[in-house]
Amino acid sequence: MEVLHLTNIDSAIGPLFLAASDRGLVALEFDARLPGQQSIRPNPRHLREEHHDVRFENASCSMQRYADELEEYFSGKRREFNFPLDLRGTDFQLACWRALLAIPYGETRTYADIARAVGKPNAFRAVGMANNRNPIAIVVPCHRVLASDGTLCGYGGGLDVKRKLLELEGALTGVLAA
């Protein structure tokens, strides 16, 4: 049975939920989620079931490394995260998320740029769906992806949060309002 360690932290953009396996961070989710957004958070109804292959443990101490690096990011002292990630998804999603990880701090790309980066130049809508399914917000920086016309669009934490993250990184030069 796999154990996922959980914690909630306060941040400059609001409460965040974190989950990690023994291999690394599995999820970083915004407290407020849009309808239909996926979540790794345990559902109390599922915890009552007799058979499940994941056990959830609240573990703020073992999650401190993640919290510390995120606090440094929000205070402008960190541009890269050093903790391990345990990304879980389809081959296409993983390719998209790795392309997101390659976007430097303070820069943006378009969905079309990411589609080209993963070798599927016409798959910009599929890239958008992969971004939508990104389980590790902020760290896997889908906030750095813009529409082809340079506008802010589509972000699980909301466009206000996307704008705040891009402002923090100094990446709003030339970015148009949604």
Annotated catalytic residues are: 142
H helix count then E strand count, the chain = 6, 6
Question: Alpha helix (H) ranges present in 48-158?
Answer: 64-74, 91-101, 111-117, 124-132
Structure tokens at 32: 């407020």
What whole-number distance in Å separates Cα of residue 16 and Cα of residue 22? 20
What whole-number distance in Å separates Cα of residue 4 and Cα of residue 2? 7
